[in-house]
């Protein structure tokens, strides 16, 4: 479910249907900020509204199922609020650990800690702590144990994430993203970035439409391990504004406008692109 669709749902829930009901151009973060500030609504009401919308959605999970068929462990950085990716990986028996950011005592992001949740038939050799510091990830090294890593950088709008008093961080309002921007240099634990090795970044269907999207992509590409690394953008539609953003990254860049359907799993269980 796209952020634009979620924004339309919030407007409808607050009785503020836009003039063009099928084409809401107001950013989700702006509407979410207004929604939770309204007298009759709260942060909890905002998260429940988003969760209800996501629960009713029927997303296309073909890409997720393709990723699940790759035998080797993957490192996936996801900006999705739902659990469609996790469901696809679980259904196809791919063991993975989900990493989500934590909130600080004063709200917003805690730039130094994350929560780990393992999804697999067998538990790891030693049950890891629920919350750990960034620098403790290297000691656990789940990919060496055969686990794919799913880093939900914006949090998960389900389960414990629906509790506004929990220490799980979810970035959805403008205020959330302003706080996130203040910690953008520490958004991605160095252990995760180092796992990319010499391979390029693949941005699959990621659209830098909103300033929040551009901030996240820029933060990833500015990391020490990401400097001067080539990256690939695969998307069905890319307008001139989005292409200008990617071209302005001052590093090797390739784009494909034929969509995600060109991605395949080649012999050796590695991702490749059909010619």
Residue carrying the six token digits 């220490």: 167
Buried b (16+ CB within 10 A) or exposed e, 127-136: ebeeebebeb
76 pLDDT band (50/70/90 cuts)? Answer: very high
- Contact of 259 with 236, CB cutoff 8 Å: yes
Strand order of the sheet with strand 253-256?
A: 201-204, 231-234, 253-256
24 pLDDT band (50/70/90 cuts)? Answer: low
- Contact of 122 with 16, CB cutoff 8 Å: no
For strands 75-78 and 148-152, give the pairing: parallel
pTM of the entire predicted model: 0.85
* Residue 193 exposed, middle or buried by CB count within 10 Å (0-12, 13-18, 19+): middle
Asked if residue 259 has pLDDT above 80, the reply is no
Q: Per-residue pLDDT averaged across 105-118, rounded?
A: 78
Q: State how far the Cα of 229 lies from the Cα of 115, in Å rounded to an integer.
A: 28
For strands 75-78 and 131-133, give the pairing: unpaired
Residue carrying the six token digits 């538990």: 123
Residue predicted with more confidence, 104 or 76:
76
Give me the pLDDT at residue 153, please.
92
- Contact of 133 with 57, CB cutoff 8 Å: no
Asked if residue 20 has pLDDT above 60, the reply is no
């Amino acid at each position: 479910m796209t952020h634009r669709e979620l924004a339309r749902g919030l407007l409808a829930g607050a009785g503020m249907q836009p003039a063009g009901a099928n084409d809401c151009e107001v950013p989700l973060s702006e509407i979410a900020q207004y929604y939770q500030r309204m007298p009759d609504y709260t942060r909890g009401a905002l998260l429940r509204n988003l969760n209800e919308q996501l629960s009713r959605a029927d997303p296309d999970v073909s890409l997720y199922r393709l990723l699940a068929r790759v035998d080797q462990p993957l490192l996936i950085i996801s900006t999705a609020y739902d659990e469609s990716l996790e469901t696809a990986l679980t259904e196809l028996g791919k063991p993975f650990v989900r990493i989500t950011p934590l909130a600080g005592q004063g709200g917003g992001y805690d730039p130094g800690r994350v929560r780990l949740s393992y999804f697999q038939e067998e538990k790891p050799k030693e049950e890891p702590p629920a919350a750990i510091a960034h620098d403790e990830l290297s000691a656990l090294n789940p990919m060496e144990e055969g686990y794919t890593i799913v880093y939900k950088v914006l949090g998960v709008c389900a389960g414990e994430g629906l509790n506004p008093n929990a220490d799980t961080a979810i970035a959805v309002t403008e205020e959330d993203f302003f706080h996130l921007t203040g910690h953008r240099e520490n958004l991605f634990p160095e252990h995760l970035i180092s796992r990319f090795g010499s391979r390029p970044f693949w941005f699959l269907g990621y659209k830098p439409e909103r300033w929040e999207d551009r901030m996240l992509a820029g933060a990833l590409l500015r990391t020490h391990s990401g400097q001067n690394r080539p990256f690939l953008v695969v998307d069905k539609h890319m307008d001139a504004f989005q292409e200008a953003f990617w071209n302005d990254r001052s590093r090797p860049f390739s784009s494909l406008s034929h969509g995600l359907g060109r991605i395949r799993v080649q012999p050796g269980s590695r991702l490749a692109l059909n010619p």
